[in-house]
Amino acid sequence: MLNTPTEILIVEDEPDLASLIADYAHASGYQSTIIGDGQVALAQVRQKRPDLIVLDLMLPGLDGISLCRAVRTFSQVPIIMVTAKVEEIDRLLGLEIGADDYLCKPFSPRELMARIKVILRRVSNTVPNNRYSDQAINRESEQSDLVRIDHAAYQIYLDQQLLELTRSEFLLLEHFIQHPGQVFSRAQLLNFVAQDSLDVTDRAIDSHIKNIRKKIAQIRADDNPIHAIYGLGYRFDGFNHSKIN
């Protein structure tokens, strides 16, 4: 069976930067397509299903935030968001737009390729369908009376209701559920979720966990299974089985 070449969609309206990224992608063994308009890029994602998207924040046609949110309605393709300011990263995390990583301009193309490699390797270990279609078959899942984890779809159901999680939030909550009662430091969680993502800080973990708690509370208002352990990190104590909707 022939391997399908890895396709990187570069959504960037600065031609010189887009061409530079494409050159490095080609040197790294990836195919790439460059699009400088957000609306055109959205149509491309629907039609071609790339393996990863490098997405600029400021775009004509449709901005990066709106494009990322639109893509997340039908695909879990990895997205690396590129911003012009470090301060934007915290704001984007708070908006829960669903990107997997954030990189601030100016950046090293080698660093971008390293992040792409890390994300694709991580995804390839968990997703059987390399186009991330929501119609993927043979999905592995874990189930209990309260929780169902669909690893291929990056989805977790609580009380048979879908938790609307970003990829990073999914990875964190999945990790917690699989290790109940174990304390993890912020550095451990950061390494697990972000790995080589150097621009992501401890504050990102706090933000992700805050968002996870909020989304759990939408289904189980009084259930808070993730606890902060002073000076150490966070611990998942499991969901309260006595809760009812």
State the helix-helix crossing angle for 202-219 and 186-193, rounded to 10 degrees: 80
For residues 17 and 10, give the distance between their C-alpha atoms in angstroms, rounded to a whole number: 10
pLDDT digit string, tens, across residues 75-126: 888 899 888 876 666 666 655 677 778 888 888 899 899 888 888 877 765 5
Q: What is the pLDDT of residue 206?
A: 86
pTM of the model: 0.57
pLDDT digit string, tens, across residues 14-66: 999 999 999 999 999 999 999 999 999 999 999 988 999 999 988 998 999 89
Three-state SS string across 173-228, please?
HHHHHHCCCCEECHHHHHHHHCCCCCCCCHHHHHHHHHHHHHHHHHHCCCCCCEEE
Q: What is the pLDDT of residue 198?
A: 45
| Type of residue found at 162 | L
